[in-house]
Amino acid sequence: MKKWLFIVLTFATILMLAACNNGIRESTKSTQTSAKSSSNENVKSQDPLTLQLLENEKVGKYLADSKGMTLYYFKKDESKKSNCSGECLKNWPPFTAENFKVPSGFNKSDFGTIARKDTGEKQVTYKGYPLYYFVNDKVKGEVNGQGVKDIWYIVNTETTFH
pLDDT digit string (tens) for 61-110?
A: 999 999 999 999 999 999 999 999 999 999 999 999 988 999 999 999 99
Percentage, residues of the chain above pLDDT 90:
64
- pLDDT at res. 98: 87
Structural domain includes residue 24: no
Structural domain includes residue 135: yes
Q: Which domain holds residue 146?
A: 51-154
Number of domains in the chain: 1
Structural domain includes residue 128: yes
Instruction: For the beta carbon of residue 41, count every other beta carbon within 10 angstroms.
Output: 10
- pLDDT at res. 80: 96
Structural domain includes residue 104: yes
The neighbouring-strand residues paired with 62 are: 54
Does the pTM surpass 0.85? The reply is: no
Helices assigned H by DSSP within 46-126: 87-91
Structural domain includes residue 15: no
Alpha carbon distance 37, 128 (integer Å): 39
Least confident interval from 4-18, 19-33, 80-94, 136-150: 19-33
Alpha carbon distance 17, 19 (integer Å): 5
Instruction: For the beta carbon of residue 89, count every other beta carbon within 10 angstroms.
Output: 17
Structural domain includes residue 80: yes
